[in-house]
Amino acid sequence: METGTMTFMADPPLASALEAVGDRWTLLVIDALLNRPMKFGELQAAIPGVAPNTLSQRLQHLDRESLVVARPYQERPPRFTYALTEQGRQLAGALHMLAEWGARRSGAELPRHATCGSQMETRFWCPTCARVVEPDEASDARVL
């Protein structure tokens, strides 16, 4: 597919990810659900500024993408508890990387290691070599 002067692969990984979670509210919903399942009202309180209709649309989208599962806890009126699926929980690393980038960009404090107090960093890890891999060591640093 060609757009302007850039040529994209038919199904690039980043484009696929952005289609599933590529807007502000969706990522904030996933972040809110990382620690525990929540009811609609709890989610709305955890995500300041989200309109109820927007939250409802994002939850439906995440359910279709198999990132969130809605479990009924009341029949009339129908009410649900929302929880991340395993695929949804796998986004935690990506969210940590985005949050770290956002903190550095805005000058906010990075999370600290509880044991020694050092600021933490997100890194790529090679499980075969059992070591951190720098971006210039990756076979293809592009994510598009």
Please, which pLDDT band fits residue 48 given cuts at 50, 70 and 90? very high
pLDDT over threshold 90, residue 31 = yes
* Rounded-to-integer distance, Cα 15 and Cα 31, Å: 20
**Domain limits at 68?**
2-89
pLDDT-based confidence at residue 124 (cuts at 50, 70, 90): confident
- Looking at the structure of the chain, the number of domains it has is 1
- 4 falls in which pLDDT band (50, 70, 90)? very low
- Identify whether 119 is part of a domain: no
Predicted pLDDT of residue 25: 94
Residue 82 lies in a domain: yes
pTM of the model: 0.77
Does residue 65 lie within any of the structural domains? Answer: yes
For residue 125, which phi and psi values (nearest 5 degrees)?
Answer: -125, 130
Is 114 contained in some domain? Answer: no
Q: Is pLDDT of 6 > 80? A: no
Angstrom distance (rounded) from CA 48 to CA 55: 11
At which residue do the structure tokens 């309180």 appear? 45
Return the SS3 of 100.
helix
- Per-residue pLDDT, 15: 84
CATH of residue 71's domain is 1.10.10.10
* Residue 101 in domain: no
Is 11 a member of any domain? yes
Distance of alpha carbon 27 from alpha carbon 96, whole angstroms: 11
Specify if 102 maps to a domain.
Answer: no
The answer as to whether 113 is a domain residue is no
Contact, 83 vs 62, CB < 8 A?
A: no
- By the 10 Å C-beta count (0-12 exposed, 13-18 middle, 19+ buried), 68 is classed as buried
